[in-house]
């Protein structure tokens, strides 16, 4: 497939996930302060874990051009980019502060069982499968924040959840830096590796990459669905 075809096929996987019962439930749950604390701390675990997943893909990949993109991607996530001066995990800490959480309370939290299971699964894909499958698994989770792709269904994960926080908690964008940044930065990340799929995911590799992306979206619905269940218990 060429870039446009990959964009179409992967985009439809994301759109299917956004229409899943798990994510429909995720966006229906009333947001309370305790529920929001669960959400932001579990997202912190996810963001921290992503760094390991991207490192696994880079280690498995033999192509320097792709490694350079991954390093560029991770520099923005870990060090700084145009959206954040101290990396993206700092955004979680700042959003947690608006909920009354200390940095230690944000960073040192027990994972929900669903979080633990899905993080194990994502790590296994990134470490044990081919670098192309790991790349697809990693990058497609960022597509779920792309408002361009999901505008007609209310926007991506960050934009839609931000509106819930505004409605239920009365928060403004300045109190939700993680949602604000990821509703913007992941548009660039969505485009980042399409040319690599066109170049390297050929022949039988094409189906493997598509399947890895599909499985990653299924894991995403499980991850967010587990958070929704935990939030609902606190609503």
Q: Whole-angstrom Cα distance, residue 81 to residue 88?
A: 9
Q: Whole-angstrom Cα distance, residue 27 to residue 228?
A: 8
Whether residue 186 has pLDDT greater than 60: no
Which pLDDT belongs to residue 104?
94
Angle at 48 between CA 123 and CA 208, to 5 degrees: 30
Which pLDDT belongs to residue 159?
93
Which pLDDT belongs to residue 151?
86
pTM of the model: 0.94
Q: Whole-angstrom Cα distance, residue 79 to residue 5?
A: 33
Which pLDDT belongs to residue 189?
67
* pLDDT tens, residue by residue, 131-143: 999 999 999 999 9
* pLDDT tens, residue by residue, 38-95: 999 999 999 999 999 999 999 999 999 999 999 999 988 888 766 666 677 889 999 9
Q: Whole-angstrom Cα distance, residue 63 to residue 192?
A: 15
Q: Whole-angstrom Cα distance, residue 133 to residue 211?
A: 8
Which pLDDT belongs to residue 79?
83
Residue in 119, 113, 101, 138 with CA at minimum distance from that of residue 49: 119
Q: Whole-angstrom Cα distance, residue 59 to residue 77?
A: 18
Alpha helices in 86-176 (DSSP H): 89-97, 103-107, 113-128, 131-143, 147-150, 157-169
Whether residue 113 has pLDDT greater than 90: yes
Which pLDDT belongs to residue 184?
67
Whether residue 20 has pLDDT greater than 90: yes
Confidence of residue 181 (pLDDT cuts 50, 70, 90): confident
Angle at 178 between CA 225 and CA 83, to 5 degrees: 140
Whether residue 185 has pLDDT greater than 60: no
Residues 6+ apart with CB under 8 A from 214: 13
- Counting residues of the chain whose pLDDT is more than 70, the rounded percentage is 94
Angle at 90 between CA 99 and CA 138, to 5 degrees: 110
Q: In the predicted model, what is the mean pLDDT of residues 104-133?
A: 97
Residue corresponding to tokens 């955004």: 91
Domains of the chain in start order, with CATH, are 3-233 (1.20.910.10)
Whether residue 194 has pLDDT greater than 80: yes
Confidence of residue 188 (pLDDT cuts 50, 70, 90): low
Which pLDDT belongs to residue 156?
93
Q: Whole-angstrom Cα distance, residue 45 to residue 43?
A: 5
Quick check: helix, strand or coil at residue 167? Answer: helix
């Amino acid at each position: 497939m060429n870039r446009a075809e990959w964009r179409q096929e992967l985009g439809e996987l994301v759109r299917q996930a956004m229409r899943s019962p798990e994510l429909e439930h995720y966006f229906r749950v009333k947001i309370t302060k305790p529920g929001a604390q669960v959400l932001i701390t579990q997202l912190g675990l996810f963001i921290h874990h992503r760094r390991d997943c991207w490192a696994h893909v880079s280690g498995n990949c033999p192509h320097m051009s792709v490694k350079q993109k991954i390093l560029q991607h991770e520099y923005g996530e870990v060090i700084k980019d145009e959206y954040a001066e101290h990396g993206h995990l700092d955004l979680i800490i700042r959003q947690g502060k608006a909920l009354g959480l200390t940095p230690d309370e944000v960073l040192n939290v027990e994972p929900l069982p669903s979080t633990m299971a899905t993080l194990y699964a994502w790590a296994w894909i990134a470490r044990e499968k081919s670098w192309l499958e790991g790349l697809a698994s990693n990058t497609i989770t960022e597509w779920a924040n792309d408002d361009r792709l999901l505008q007609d269904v209310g926007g991506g994960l960050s934009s839609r959840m931000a509106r819930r926080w505004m409605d239920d908690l009365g928060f403004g964008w300045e109190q939700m830096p993680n949602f604000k940044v990821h509703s913007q930065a992941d548009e660039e990340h969505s485009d980042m590796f399409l040319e690599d799929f066109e170049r390297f995911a050929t022949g039988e590799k094409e189906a493997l990459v598509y399947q890895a992306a599909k499985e990653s979206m299924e894991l995403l619905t499980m991850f967010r669905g587990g958070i929704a269940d935990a939030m609902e218990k606190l609503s």
